[in-house]
Amino acid sequence: MSKWLRSGRRRDLCFLLAAAEDGELRGQRLKSRLEAHYDERLEPKSFYGSLSALEDAGFVEKRTEGLHDVYALTDAGERRTREHGEWVRECLEGDVASE
């Protein structure tokens, strides 16, 4: 597993972006959805640090729309998120071969 997947927050951000209706979310909306899932407030520095790490790894791209930053998965981010989701489904269904 690549390093970006070792962080639960990074994985969750990617899952939220993959589930977004149009494939992208404004930063504040993304933060609000993650906070609702975690049921706690996230420090902006930590939250945006996670997004920045995903950008640096090439899994998330950011564009500016007026005053807002908008985030979306790159093709690589989409592929890795779907692969990880499939692995989780296999684990939950008991289809993962024991090592």
Q: Which CATH number fits domain 3-93: 1.10.10.10, 3.30.830.10, 3.40.640.10, 1.20.1090.10?
A: 1.10.10.10
Residue among 77, 86, 96, 97 at smallest CA distance from 18: 77
User: Which two structure tokens, joined as six digits, stand for 21?
Assistant: 């209706």
Express each pLDDT in 24-62 by its tens digit: 999 999 999 999 999 999 999 999 999 999 999 999 999
Check whether 99 has a pLDDT greater than 60. Answer: no
pLDDT at residue 86 in the model: 92
Could you state, in order of their start, the residue ranges of all structural domains in the chain? 3-93
Q: How far apart are alpha carbons 94 and 5 in whole angstroms?
A: 21
pLDDT at residue 98 in the model: 56
- In degrees and rounded to multiples of 5, residue 97 shows phi and psi of -65, 140
- Identity of the residue numbered 83: E
pTM of the model: 0.86
Q: How many residues are listed for the chain in this entry?
A: 99
Express each pLDDT in 60-97 by its tens digit: 999 999 999 999 999 999 999 999 899 889 999 987 66
**Cβ–Cβ < 8 Å for 4, 53:** yes
Residue among 21, 32, 36, 35 at smallest CA distance from 72: 21
pLDDT at residue 94 in the model: 87
